[in-house]
Structures are given as C-alpha cells and as structure tokens.
C-alpha cells in the first residue's frame, strides 16, 4: 500500500524530471499528502503531448448514483490491473506518472506504529506508476482522479511493509506513457519492485500520522533518544 507521500520540489524541477510540456491546475507543495488531496500527475495528452495536471487522489471508476458514496481506491495492485474490469481500460489507455520526493509507511502494531520515510538514492524525485480516470468527485477542484500502482516489496521495503509503490526509472517514462501501447503483457513488465540500492529510509516523527501536520520537519530523521 501507499497511503501517504511527499512532494515539495518546484514545478520547474518537476517538469524537467518528467519531461512535461504543458501544465494545468494549482500546485501546493506538501509534506503529508493524503487520500482525497489534489496533486500533480503526468500523462500523455492530445498527440502524446506530456501534460502535468492536478488530479484527485482516489480513482473514480464510475459516476455514482444520486445518494451513493463513490468508491475511490488510492492504490491498484499490480496483479489486478490486467484482470479486474475496474482497471483494464485505464491500464490500456490512461496510464500516468505521479511525481514524489518520497513516501511514508508504518511498522509495528495498532496503537504503537512507527512511521518511516522512504526516498530515492541518487535521484531528486520518484515517478510512481499510476492510472487515471476522466472522472473526479464534484466537490473537488479537479476534473480527473488517480491511483498509485503497488507491487511486492524489495529488500529495503520488505522489512517495513508487504507492498510498495511501483517506481519507474526516468528511462521508462516515455514507454509507460506511450498512448500507442495497449499490450497488457508488455505493460506488466514495468510493474516490478524498485532496485534495492535505489532506496533509503529512516524513522520519522509520529506527527506524520495526523494529516493536519504538514511541514518540512516531518521528513527529518526522528531523534529516538530525545
């Protein structure tokens, strides 16, 4: 699972990392991005032009009936993208990349969980593989929504959690977003655990558990003896 992440870089740096040509929507850096937040997502627009647009985190697969609460999953399992009807069309036609400086995951038991911050080694940003929908909740300032694809953990993550976000290498961005590519077998090859030597992590303050907390200090290494 990936239920919290971080994005604080300037838009120009995000554009450069993702090869974005055009952007839409507002962007506010956040050190505690939570489900239902609206954050930048890259996808291939008209003619394959790479766009960056603010989307709602929580994939809206269909328009709910009046009075019905929408189903808005924030993650998509790698073993579901080519099998479950909710995901197959998006996997073939609406793939995206979610920029992030890092993400959080927790260890421990309920009531005594320890948060970890996981971030890239040797790269300024991550590019999570995702799927997007052309629908979004009416009460959110976005016209599209997205989900982050997860896979099995690498050796760094398996000590923390049994799932991790799919992280693409920059050399894979163009192939993943290619609007002419629809073959699920080919696309499934991108959904692999990130190399062990590409991640680093440390324990952070439990303050990150409260979504109202949002400041740079959240990603700092916790003083366990202070």
Residue numbers annotated as active site: 2, 105
For residue 200, give the DSSP letter. E
Instruction: Count Cβ atoms below 10 Å from residue 82 Cβ, excluding itself.
Output: 16
Place of tokens 């992590």: 201
Place of tokens 């003083």: 223
Please report, for residues 131, 196, 224, the alpha-carbon distance to residue 78 in angstroms, rounded to integers and kept in the order given. 11, 19, 35
- Please, are residues 36 and 129 in contact by the beta-carbon 8 Å criterion? no
Q: Which of 57, 16, 50 is nearest to 36 (CA)?
A: 57
């Amino acid at each position: 699972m990936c239920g919290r992440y971080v994005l604080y870089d300037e838009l120009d740096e995000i554009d450069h990392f993702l090869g974005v040509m055009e952007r839409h929507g507002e962007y506010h850096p956040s050190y505690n991005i939570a489900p239902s937040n609206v954050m930048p997502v890259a996808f291939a627009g008209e003619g394959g032009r790479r766009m960056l647009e603010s989307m709602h985190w929580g994939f809206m697969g269909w328009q709910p009936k009046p009075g019905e609460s929408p189903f808005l999953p924030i993650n998509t399992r790698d073993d579901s993208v080519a099998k479950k009807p909710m995901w197959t069309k998006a996997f073939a036609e609406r793939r995206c990349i979610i920029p992030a400086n890092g993400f959080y995951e927790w260890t421990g038991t309920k009531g005594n969980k320890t948060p970890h911050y996981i971030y890239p080694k040797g790269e300024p940003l991550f590019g999570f593989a995702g799927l997007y929908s052309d629908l979004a909740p009416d009460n959110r300032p976005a016209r599209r929504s997205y989900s982050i694809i997860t896979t099995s953990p690498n050796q760094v993550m398996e000590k923390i959690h049994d799932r991790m976000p799919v992280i693409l290498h920059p050399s894979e961005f163009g192939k993943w977003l290619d609007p002419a590519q629809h073959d699920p077998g080919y696309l499934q090859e991108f959904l692999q655990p990130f190399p062990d030597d590409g991640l680093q992590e440390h324990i952070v303050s439990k303050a990150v558990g409260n979504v109202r907390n949002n400041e740079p200090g959240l990603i700092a290494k916790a003083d366990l003896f202070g």
